[in-house]
Amino acid sequence: MYTKSSVEDRCFSIIFKGRRKNLDLIASSKDEAERWVSCLQKVILLLNDLDRQKNSEHWIYECMRKADTNGDNKMTLKELKQFLRHINIEVDDGYAEMLFKKCDTSNSATLEGSEIEEFYKLLTQREEISVIFGKYAKTSGEMSASDLLNFLQYEQRETVALDHAHKLIERYEMDPTAKQNKQMSKDGFLMYLNHEEGSIFNPAHKGVFQDMQQPLNHYFISSSHNTYLMEDQLKGPSSTEAYIKALMKGCRCVELDCWDGANGEPVIYHGHTLTSKVLFKDVIKAIKEYSFKTSPYPVILSLENHCTIPQQKVMARHLTSILGSALLTRPLGKQMPTNFPGPEKSKKIKLAKELSDLVIYCKSVHFSSFEHSRENQAFYEMASFKESKATNLAENSATGFIHHNMEKLSRIYPAGSRTDSSNYNPVPLWNAGCQIVALNFQTPCKEMDLNQARFLPNGKSGYILKPEFLRDPSSNFNPNNLSAGNPCQKKNLHIMSSIMFQATPAQIISAQQLPKINKDKPKSIVDPQVRVEVYGVPEDNATKQTHHIENNGKLSHKIAFKQFVYVQLTQEIFSTGFNPSWNINFQFTIRVPELALVRFVVEDYDAASKNDLIGLYTVPLSSIQNGYRHVPLLNKRGNLIPSAGLFVHIMVLDA
């Protein structure tokens, strides 16, 4: 929000995830504004600290509250059925009545207090966890530290010692007696699996862990196209909010299309269209404020300049006056540089890419050929490629493109024909070493899922160090012809059953608390299926999917028995709305694991029309943890669905 300086200290904005607009507020005093901001920050902090189990409980009790139509904190059988539909479980009347009577110990024809807790306990019981826990709990029905260590080493493939098992017990065991005896109960084990140690995403990659002192062109850089747009590029709104949302997602290269505006003030919008306009100076203020909230590393301003000389001077004045010392105005170091600096330099904040004489490291030039660029283009001169040109080079001259990008920066942008602000596939461009692969951040789609996954590791800093074979001048790597020179160790990706305790073909196990898709039809229940997709070099691209489960695994009074021969164990399996089970074996052979992304997609199957998305998650193969792991699920806009997830067993092994 930008307003008069006299009331600035009373103003604050609430920025929502998704497509909702910001809420701009003015308090009656500075102190009141500070109290509001402080309290809101505490709420956000508490929400961010919720683990999967707490999120699950919060979601379940919220659904119970909605089902309690008369607000008496009790549940009738009718309200119980309504609650089960809220949480996406289809039950027959006989089973619902049996479950209700089992919990109604007071015979009051309602559930309340401890009876609701018992109902919740029965509802959330997960047999697959019981089976895994039972195999390793060799100490009076609980896991000793040694038992837990065996699980961590054999199943999770973690190279840890006994003290690590002690730390996990201390951190996650809630029962004081078990904790004192250095043992882990089943509840503690589930708590461990629901935290980041049990996530598919390696927590060691959560922070910055890569070398950040390589030249800038050795990194993939999270980049946005038409950053000012909230929607399509014909008549959609332009807003500073779009810059804020992109920067908060770790974007490190934003685009500003600059045109002459009224009263001598340049504006930003998609020229010669009906998109709305936003003041250039307001955008620069937003960039100043939000550039380094998520990442401390440099932001590149990609200016598409259509302004006349007088308004160019106004742009330069706003850049220097608003950004101040944050603006990079001269080369780093005491001597004229011969190559790019790294994202890490000094503690001084830097922004790159300016107008005219202020341009330091990213001067825009026309691309003719790789030979011409090698002989005539300085390292700080950057060529921009339309997606079709770049894709053609990546397909037909991949090795030449890779070597070009070892010395120069390349920026790729969507074709102008994408009036709906759709996106192209960024993966082939990353495979060719292109650094600035700019996408329309405002458009939720598979391509943005892949982009979010590419920049998920390394602290979401917006910089990912390219693999060595995309940086080494002696490399002859060609993503389209691996036989010519593939330096990578081939990997096999297994996704295995919770019951099959050996390295066999891959399997999806179960899902938890899948959300309803059609909330307008309260009786509708999803028919979930899971698809696993691999994106990387052409030889690695692959897709496999499970069967769908009718009515999300309808609960009934019938008990299904299933024999798992690998451990010679018979176990009761309820395929409930909380745990629809697939037990489908998957295996992928991946030739270039350093470039591979693995995407999990959960959909509501429909035989008559297109499947609806339930949730998805994409992760770099190199950031996957082995063993029994929970996979969080995101909605189509990339935001976490707090209560939902997949449970899988993963093995990434040398082929």
Spot the catalytic one: 218, 270, 403, 494: 270
How far is Cα 26 from Cα 130, in angstroms, rounded to an integer? 53
Reference 95, options 551, 441, 440, 568; nearest CA is 551
Burial of 53 (0-12, 13-18, 19+ CB in 10 A): middle
Q: Any binding-site annotation on 617? A: no
Q: Are 213 and 204 contacting, i.e. CB atoms less than 8 angstroms apart?
A: no
**Distance from chain centroid for Cα 113:** 38
- Two structure tokens written together for 117: 């807790």
Q: What is the DSSP string of 99-141?
A: HHHHH-TT-SSSB-THHHHHHHHHHT--HHHHHHHHHH--BTT
Reference 508, options 556, 546, 535; nearest CA is 546
Residue 352, H or E segment: strand 351-352
| Residues whose CB falls within 8 Å of the CB of residue 423, separated by 6 or more in sequence, listed in order | 414, 439, 440, 443, 445, 447, 448
How far is Cα 352 from Cα 332, in angstroms, rounded to an integer? 11
Give the residue carrying structure tokens 């920049």: 455
Extract the runs of DSSP E, i.e. beta strands, from 260-336.
Answer: 267-268, 278-279, 299-305
Q: Any binding-site annotation on 255? A: yes
Give the residue carrying structure tokens 């120069």: 408
Q: Any binding-site annotation on 268? A: no
Q: Any binding-site annotation on 108? A: no
> Any catalytic annotation for residue 306?
no
**Pairing relationship of beta strands 381-386 and 410-413 according to DSSP bridges:** parallel
- Two structure tokens written together for 328: 């990079």
Q: How far lies 329's CA from each of 89, 350, 352, 403, in Å?
A: 60, 9, 8, 29
> Any catalytic annotation for residue 270?
yes
Q: Any binding-site annotation on 257? A: yes
Q: Any binding-site annotation on 357? A: no
Q: Any binding-site annotation on 116? A: no
Assign residue 250 a region (left: φ > 0; alpha: ψ between -120 and 50; beta: otherwise): left
Which residue type does 554 have? K
| Residues whose CB falls within 8 Å of the CB of residue 374, separated by 6 or more in sequence, listed in order | 404, 407
Q: Are 652 and 491 contacting, i.e. CB atoms less than 8 angstroms apart?
A: yes
How far is Cα 142 from Cα 136, in angstroms, rounded to an integer? 8
Task: Label each residue of 552-565 as H, E or C.
Answer: HCCECCCCEEEEEC
Q: How far lies 137's CA from each of 142, 146, 150, in Å?
A: 5, 10, 10
Q: Any binding-site annotation on 244? A: no
Q: Are 207 and 459 contacting, i.e. CB atoms less than 8 angstroms apart?
A: yes
Residue 627, H or E segment: strand 627-634
Reference 129, options 181, 194, 179; nearest CA is 194
- Two structure tokens written together for 495: 């996704």
Spot the catalytic one: 86, 225, 494, 649: 225
Reference 126, options 193, 51, 178, 64; nearest CA is 193
User: Which residues are known catalytic residues?
Assistant: 225, 270
Q: Where is the binding site for Ca(2+), in residues?
A: 226, 255, 257, 304, 525, 527, 551, 604-606
Q: Please state the residue numbers annotated as binding site for substrate.
A: 384, 411
Provide the annotated binding site.
226, 255, 257, 304, 384, 411, 525, 527, 551, 604-606
